[in-house]
Amino acid sequence: MAHTSSRTTIVFIVVALVCAFVHAFSIEEAEEKLLWDTCLLKISPKCALEIIGALFENLTIPDACCQDLVQEGKMCHDTLIKYIAEKPHLVSHETEYLKKSDALWTHCVSIS
């Protein structure tokens, strides 16, 4: 069971990163595209994976990544999570992920 969960997590992370870096999947509006590109530069790839794991796999986020998340800013965090949560295989639980995203933000702000 744990092996299947790990494999699912790895596949999800790879898909999320491909979606984040392939222009065919990028946000179309110029202003949002600029925000997307700007936000990706503010957080390390390791912490991006930790945040994705915390939201979509119920993993624990390290304190150092919480600091990166807060430094990234709420608008960037919301934009990136909403973009990932709107993917066809996740959209049915988008509301749940957005609530988890807000809870994660609140937690990270409280310890930063």
24 falls in which pLDDT band (50, 70, 90)?
A: very low
Q: Give the whole-number percent of the chain exceeding pLDDT 90.
A: 28
pLDDT of residue 110: 96
Residue 95: burial class (beta carbons within 10 Å; 0-12, 13-18, 19+)? exposed
Q: Domains of the chain: which residue ranges?
A: 2-111
pLDDT of residue 17: 58
Residue type for 44, please? S
86 falls in which pLDDT band (50, 70, 90)?
A: confident
Query: What's the predicted TM-score (pTM) here?
Result: 0.67
23 falls in which pLDDT band (50, 70, 90)?
A: very low
Q: How far apart are CA 65 and CA 6, in angstroms?
A: 21
